[in-house]
Every structure is written in structure tokens, then in C-alpha cells.
Chains A and B, each alone.
Chain A
Amino acid sequence: MNPNRVYAIILRFLFNFRHNLDQVFDAFYWPVIDLLLLGLTTSYFAKQSTNPSAILLTILSGIVFWILVWRAQHELTTGILEELWSRNLLNIFGSPLTFAEWLMAIITLSLIKAIISFSFTVCVAFILYQTNLFIYGFYFLPLGLLLLMFGWAVGTLISGVIFRYGTRIQTLAWAGVMLLSPFSAIYYPLSILPPWAQKVALLIPTSYIFEQVRGLINNQSLDWQKLGIAFGLNLVYLILSVIFLYRSYQQTLKNGLLSVY
């Protein structure tokens, strides 16, 4: 793993970010819109409950924690899409860059952008609703890491699909992880889901994590066993998705990189 080459790809995307208003919107605009719409709606309904601050905190926590999953997945998939749109694959893979270095660069970049978007949204939430989302303290680290892992696993899987089928299925870059959000129980307890959906949710790591987030809001301690299950599932999904992406890349090399444009 050569750090200069990893840095080269990070630099290439940071330059791109600077010139691309769409990406700036993705990073800052939509999280704020979510905060405003969901936050204000929740504020209104929460006033009729006995514990309005806990309800607001649950929804706002869901919004900001989900940003980690969304950004991790979205950055990975738009990374490959950006190369396809720019017809730049030959330039990067016709250089000394290895596949592992490229993947490492994209993952690092998604981590940086996820942290920026997350921090920005947490600050906006504090300004708008005087809600302190830093209450999670040290627990943020394992929860955040597990959410990022799941985003990377889904992002890697979708990148593999895009490598195989090109831009004609690019909508997956936006729809991707959102398909799994209902099973993740971001804003509501798992028990709300129908029985069949609860069984599906058992296979989705984020469902365990958001249950723990709500548990912390209700002054419960973290269930490390549940987080262990989430970590195990994440690890399996991440390994499988990286294998799938690598095989898709090899398939593309067999068919010709130009064939995916």
C-alpha cells in the first residue's frame, strides 16, 4: 500500500468536490433539510407527550447517525461513478495504482466526508433545537464505527454492481442503503415492525445499533453483545462485498474497462 498513490486519489476527489456543487449539496444541504422537516414535525408532536425532549432527541439522533451510514455508502459509489462519468478509469488503473490503494483512498475519503457532514449536522441540531447530541460521549466511537462499516459494506457491494453493469444502474448510488432504512429502525423501536420485517431486521446491523442509541437516550447501558452481533454481521458483509467488488473489477479487466462506460 503506497501512501502517495492513496493520497493522489484522495486529492483527485477533493479537487472534484471543490468544483462540484452537487456534492456540496449532498454533504450539507440535505442533512439540514432533514433536520428542519423531521425536527420541526417532531417538536410539534412531542409537545403533546410527557417527555418531549427524549422524543426529539430520538429523532435527531436517528437523523445524524444515519448520515454516517448514508455518507459512507454514497461516497464509495459516487467515487466509482465519478470515474465513469469522467471516463477516467484508464488514467487511474493504467497507472501504478493498485485496486487496494484505490479502495483505501475512497474509504478514507468517505470517512472524512462522513465526519464533516456528521459534525456539521450535530452543530446545526444544537443551534436549531438546543439539543446536545454529544451526550453519547465515548459511546459514539463504537456506534459510529459500526454504522460506517455497514455503509462501506453496502457501498462496496453497489460499487461492484456498477463496475459490472456501468452507469445504467447508477440510481443505486442514491437508492442503495435507503432500501434498508425501514429495517434499520432508525426512528422507531424494532417491535413496531411487522413480524416478518423484524426477522429481516435481525440480519441488518444498523437495527441493533439504533436500538442501542434509543437505549442510551432512555438511560440504559449499552448491550455489548448486541453490538458484537452487529460487528460480526458487518464484518461478514464487508468481506463478502469486497470480494464481490474485486471480482467485478477483475471481470471488467477481462471485458475491457471501456466496456463499462
Chain B
Amino acid sequence: MRYNGAGVGRMRTVVKILAVIVVGTLLGLAATWFSVFRGTMAGGVSDGPWKTSLYAGSSAGGPYLRAVIAVHGLLALNRQETIYYTAATDSDGAALTGACRYEIAGRDPPTRWWSITAYGADDFLIPNPAGRYSVSMNSVARRADGTFIITASKDAGGAITAAKDAAAANWIALGGGPFSLSLRLYNPAPAVAADPAHVALPTIRKVRCG
């Protein structure tokens, strides 16, 4: 450091210390933001559009994993108890949006109980006058061969008017904006808990938009 007189030198040192504190703190917080808060859950596996984490509900081994679980899977149960799958895209990989109508087709997954629920971009249930937030193992209407088609759309439209009560049961209401789906499996079959990436889960097909 060049010597420019005691006052200026001390001034520079104070400015540098302040810069170290501000820049160091911001860098540290930014690293936490990117590694913990942004992005998704660690230990991710996918099954078609459905994603889940092997670590949800686990007693985490390490500060990073624990922080990520606290942010993305707070108060979740372990895999033997419940497996939580989330889909933010359809089966073709396009982002889910309430501007489109979707058909969720499949058959009952091997589990004691299941439900499919839609959430808005804020991760809360989507307001709708009919209160149609989810379809579950008990409420779904199946065809003779055991398969089902659930409609997810902003307006009931075809889902309710096209057919009888059966079709009306298979409707999840959306808002206008982006949304995601949660598929919960309660007390899943041991094979599902052991390998959640290879389960016959429902497909999500975009029918039309606008």
C-alpha cells in the first residue's frame, strides 16, 4: 500500500474492511440462496413427468440436506409412510398451465390410498367455487377395465356437461396460470418405496389450449 498520509490511508482501510463485510456477506447469502432455496429437492428421481425425492421425510444426514428438506419438504413423511410425487410438466415435457385442458389417464397405483391435487404457483390450493382441489382413490370414477381419465381444466366444461356423474367426479379445477400436480401414495407397496422411479403412474396429456 502506498503511503499518502495517515488520514487517507486509514480511510482506505476502513472502506476496504466495509467492502469485505458487505461483499462477503452477500456472496455467502447468494451461495445459500442458490444451493438451498432455489431449484428443487435433492435426491430427485422421476417417473415420466412425476418427480419425487428419496430424501423427503428422512432424518437428514448433513446440514445441506436438512436445509433443502426444510425448504422444499417441510413436515413431509418418510417413503414407507407416504411418497409425494410432483409434476410441473405434462408427459411431453411442456409446462403445466391453466390456459390448457389436460387428461390424466391411468390406473390405480399399488398403494393403500392415493390422491392427485392441483396447486397454484404459490404452492397453495387453487380457489374454485366447486372446491374441486383433488381426485382420490375413493372419489375417482373408473371404467369397466379399471382405468380412469381425470380432466384438469379451468372450467368444468366437457368434464361435467359431457357425461353423467361419473365424468363429473373426475375433474380437478385449475386457475388461469401455471400450476403443478401432487400425487400422494399413502402406505405404498414396498416395491414402490424401494424404487419410486419405476411405477406405472398416470400420464398427463394436453388436450387443447385457449
* A and B: bona fide binding partners: no
Seen from chain A, the residues whose Cβ lies within 8 Å of a Cβ on chain B are none
